[in-house]
Amino acid sequence: MNCEHSKEILIRYGELTLKGENKKDFINQLRRNIELYIPKEELKVEYDRAFCKYSVKNLKSLKYIFGISSYSIVYKTSTNLDDIEKLVIEVAKENSFNSFAINSRRHNKNYPLNSSQLNMHFGGIILSNFSDKKVNLTNADLTIYIEIRDKYTYVFSNYINGLGGMPVSSSGRVLHLISGGIDSPVAANLLQKRGLKVAFLNFITPPHTDEKTTQKIDDIISLLTKYQGSSTLFQINYTKIMNYIGLVSNQKYKITLMRRSFYRIAQKIAEKYNIKALSNGENLAQVASQTLESIYTISEVSNLPIFRPLLTFDKNETIKIANDIKTMDISIQKACETCELFAPKFPVTKPNREEVKKLEEELEKLNQLEDEVINEIIIKKFDII
Ligand code: ATP
Ligand code: MG
């Protein structure tokens, strides 16, 4: 549009039911998050809307920010009725349409026309400037939105869905057990959606796991970092513990013992970094190690809450999200996974706490080895590029 009107992006917030302090915190966190992507001087945050300069880069960034319900590319003019008329006509000219609707809102209740009067007025303007156009209030080809605020008016004809959810970090932090599989990356993204900033914990067992395994983890975390600005990965070389657990007298319990060990280590790392919850990509009854008895026996070792966002998901629901967030293509690449390498032929599906404790007594060096691998932890940082 050859327009003297400036082009901006109007941003709407999610969770509009929030009130008082909660709403203030929500908006402040959202502002900090948007500023990770969009320069401060290009952004203006108000109590019910944010505005930023239009650029392709800014537009792309908004796709990754939780807490935004929708956004629109808008043209800005004054609140003067003549100016708005001119702009409405220009926006109509930009589009090809037969039927149209006008959707007006006035934020300033002192504005001389109310929203239905505004709709009537601008509907009349379109009808008198364009021949053969019809009003259609239920299924129009073109809807022109007019939002009159205190100082400016915004006119637009597009609505882009945002991610919804809560701003990342508004709910605190979680330590997430991540593998190169399909599930745990999706679970991480759902936790981000509820406002958690996710720190990652991954166990590797070189030389059984190789470059490809760690590359997959790095690639997955790079993708997930787009949703939270920066990430930390804690990586543990678990080989000597895996070999040690392999000596246990009841081989069916190897995976259960390893999982308990994972969560003891996770708990210690979380405590050190003041993180108040753990999480994983588990799903009830999808694989042998994810039965209720197994979850019961494993979660005993940690007194932190363990979030399992995928607990009730069908596999195809998980895969749909994995495709949406583009982790699927990475997850399906072939690489050696720690758990798969270690799984006995017939793992116990209903482990019990008494048996597992007996076996842990056999493995008397287990706690000491866990402390050792924590001391040798690898810490990697990720940023949005
Ligand atoms: P995923 O697709 O996430 O690997 P899965 O259905 O294959 O899950 P498992 O491999 O049994 O199931 O793993 C269950 C959960 O345990 C994972 O979702 C992840 O949270 C955690 N986990 C598994 N392997 C590792 C690992 N090497 N490092 C850290 N966490 C792991
Ligand atoms: Mg797996």
pLDDT tens-digit readout, 365-383 = 999 999 999 999 999 999 9
Instruction: Report the distance separating Cα 331 and Cα 352, nearest Å.
Output: 32
How far away, in angstroms, is 310 Cα from ligand 1 center? 12
307 lines ligand 1 (CB under 6 A): no
Beta carbons within 10 angstroms of residue 306's beta carbon: 19
220 lines ligand 1 (CB under 6 A): no
SS3 50: strand
Could you read off the pLDDT of 316-342 as tens digits, one per residue? 999 999 999 999 999 999 988 877 778
E strand or H helix at 380, and its extent?
A: strand 378-383
pLDDT category at 2 given cuts 50, 70, 90 is: very low
SS3 of 196-209: EEEEEEEEECCCCC
Q: How much is the average pLDDT of 118-135?
A: 96
Residue 335's pLDDT is what? 87
Backbone angles phi, psi at 298, to 5 degrees: -80, -40
Find, among 187, 176, 182, the residue nearest to 281 by Cα: 187
179 lines ligand 1 (CB under 6 A): yes
Q: Is 246 annotated as a binding residue?
A: no
How far away, in angstroms, is 281 Cα from ligand 1 center? 6
Could you read off the pLDDT of 146-203 as tens digits, one per residue? 999 999 999 999 999 999 999 999 999 999 999 999 999 999 999 999 999 999 999 9
Instruction: Report the distance separating Cα 36 and Cα 169, nearest Å.
Output: 13
Q: Which residue owns the Cα nearest ligand 1 atom 14?
A: 282
**pLDDT over 70, % of the chain:** 98
Q: What is the dihedral of CA 245, 251, 257, 258, to 10 degrees?
A: 60
How far away, in angstroms, is 47 Cα from ligand 1 center? 41
Q: Which residue owns the Cα nearest ligand 1 atom 10?
A: 339
Ligand 1 pocket check: which of 177, 184, 330, 380 to mutate, most ligand atoms within 8 Å of Cβ? Answer: 184
Name the pTM for this structure: 0.94
Q: Which residue owns the Cα nearest ligand 1 atom 29?
A: 202
Q: How much is the average pLDDT of 113-124?
A: 97
Q: How much is the average pLDDT of 117-146?
A: 96
How far away, in angstroms, is 371 Cα from ligand 1 center? 22
Instruction: Report the distance separating Cα 202 and Cα 265, nearest Å.
Output: 11
261 lines ligand 1 (CB under 6 A): no
Instruction: State which ligand 1 atom lies nearest to the alpha carbon of 340.
Output: 10
Instruction: State which ligand 1 atom lies nearest to the alpha carbon of 286.
Output: 6
